[in-house]
């Protein structure tokens, strides 16, 4: 979200109008699982997906299953994120609220590592989308990465509530609403949001990453049929960088938790019931769909292990899937 002060915001308050309150209900799609090698599952996905323009019916089923598994896992996971529509209904939290304090500490702790992950993700995406092959394009990308590396502070803000944002004229600070800080209860979720905001800063006032944003949006639109233009393109690309950063973090930090559960956390805040969109953003659930359509390796990896198999209760998966599909 952008206002006249140059502020870009990750989330927006969603109000459901009468036209948006009429939603399509989807049923659980039973499909054959696609086999992916272990090495393919561990890649960020940008490498393999950038060269793959065909998006088949099987790919679409894979995406739908991954969305359902993500939101079913949110119900089960003790460290799951609060959906953003639920955050919006909650009263403001003071800065000294224990959950907000814990969230601010988590964001501050993870910021240095997230800067590195985001810089690497932006560079790789630029190469994968053939936007690092000339001196001017390399200069734009390198300048964007330098802006990422200059960010030093996370600032809690009671009035920001369920949003995170940056002010491009002061691109060294990420402001987090205290409700949002409290609602992101895992490292993986926090990295995905920090990555989003750092990508806004990377593009900055010069809009250095606009060609990359348009290329990502074009591929996502082609694969999903969703309308992704203008500010929607930037918001989706920032989400993609955040998801890739979280994915890489999971691969670099061993844990007793299964990686599919950890990966689901990067998307769970979008598992809403009130799935509204606006001119600047896809609806939250369509955001998950577009991200998995862009990176099928993440969708496949998420369906492996305890998240994707029948250990999910049928009731949980049904609740997760009874949401509108593929609408802008």
Q: List, for residues 207-258, the tens digit of each pLDDT value.
A: 999 999 999 999 999 999 999 999 999 999 999 999 999 999 999 999 999 9
All domains in the chain, ordered by first residue: 7-11+18-321 (3.40.390)
HSE-CB for 34 with a 13 A CA cutoff: 20
Residue 225's pLDDT is 94
Among 100, 67, 14, residue whose Cα is nearest residue 296: 67
Pairing of strands 164-167, 153-157: unpaired
Single pTM value for the model = 0.80
Which helix H or strand E contains 155, and what residues bound it? strand 153-157
Q: Return the structure tokens found at 70.
A: 């993500």
Is 2 strand, coil or helix? strand
Q: How confident is the model at residue 167 (pLDDT cuts 50, 70, 90)?
A: confident
Q: Return the structure tokens found at 15.
A: 């109000």
Cα–Cα distance measured from residue 219 to residue 290, given in angstroms and rounded to the nearest whole number: 9
Residue 202's pLDDT is 96
Per-residue pLDDT reduced to its tens digit, 84-113: 999 999 999 999 999 999 999 999 999 999
HSE-CB for 197 with a 13 A CA cutoff: 30
CA 130 to chain centre: 23
Poorest-pLDDT segment among 4-8, 38-42, 149-153, 197-201: 38-42
CA 209 to chain centre: 17
Report the largest interatomic distance among the alpha carbons of the chain, rounded to a whole angstrom: 54
Residue 159's pLDDT is 93
């Amino acid at each position: 979200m952008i206002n006249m002060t140059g502020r870009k915001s990750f989330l927006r308050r969603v109000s459901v109008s009468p036209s948006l309150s009429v939603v399509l209900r989807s049923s659980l799609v039973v499909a054959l699982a696609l086999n992916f090698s272990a090495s393919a599952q561990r890649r960020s996905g940008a490498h393999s997906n950038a060269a793959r323009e065909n998006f088949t019916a099987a790919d679409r089923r894979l995406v739908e299953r991954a969305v359902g598994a993500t939101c079913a896992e949110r119900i089960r996971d003790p460290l799951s994120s609060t959906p953003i529509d639920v955050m919006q209904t909650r009263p403001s939290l003071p800065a000294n609220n224990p959950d907000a304090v814990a969230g601010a500490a988590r964001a501050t702790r993870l910021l240095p590592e997230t800067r590195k992950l985001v810089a690497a993700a932006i560079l790789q995406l630029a190469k994968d989308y053939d936007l690092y092959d000339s001196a001017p394009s390399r200069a734009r990308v390198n300048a964007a990465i330098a802006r990422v590396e200059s960010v030093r502070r996370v600032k809690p803000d009671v009035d920001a509530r369920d949003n995170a944002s940056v002010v491009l004229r002061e691109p060294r600070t990420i402001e987090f609403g205290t409700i949002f800080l409290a609602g992101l209860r895992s490292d993986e979720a926090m990295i995905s949001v920090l990555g989003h905001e750092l990508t806004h800063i990377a593009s900055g006032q010069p809009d250095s990453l606009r060609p990359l944003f348009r290329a990502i949006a074009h591929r996502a639109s082609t694969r999903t049929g969703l309308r992704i233009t203008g500010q929607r393109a930037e918001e989706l690309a920032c989400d993609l960088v955040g998801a890739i950063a979280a994915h890489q973090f999971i691969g670099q930090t061993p844990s007793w938790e299964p990686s599919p559960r950890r990966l689901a956390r990067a998307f769970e805040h979008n598992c809403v019931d009130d799935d509204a969109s606006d001119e600047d953003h896809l609806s939250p659930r369509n955001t998950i769909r577009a991200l998995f359509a862009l990176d099928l390796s993440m969708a496949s990896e998420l369906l492996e292990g305890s998240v994707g198999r029948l250990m999910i209760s049928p009731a949980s998966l049904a609740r997760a899937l009874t949401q509108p599909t593929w609408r802008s």
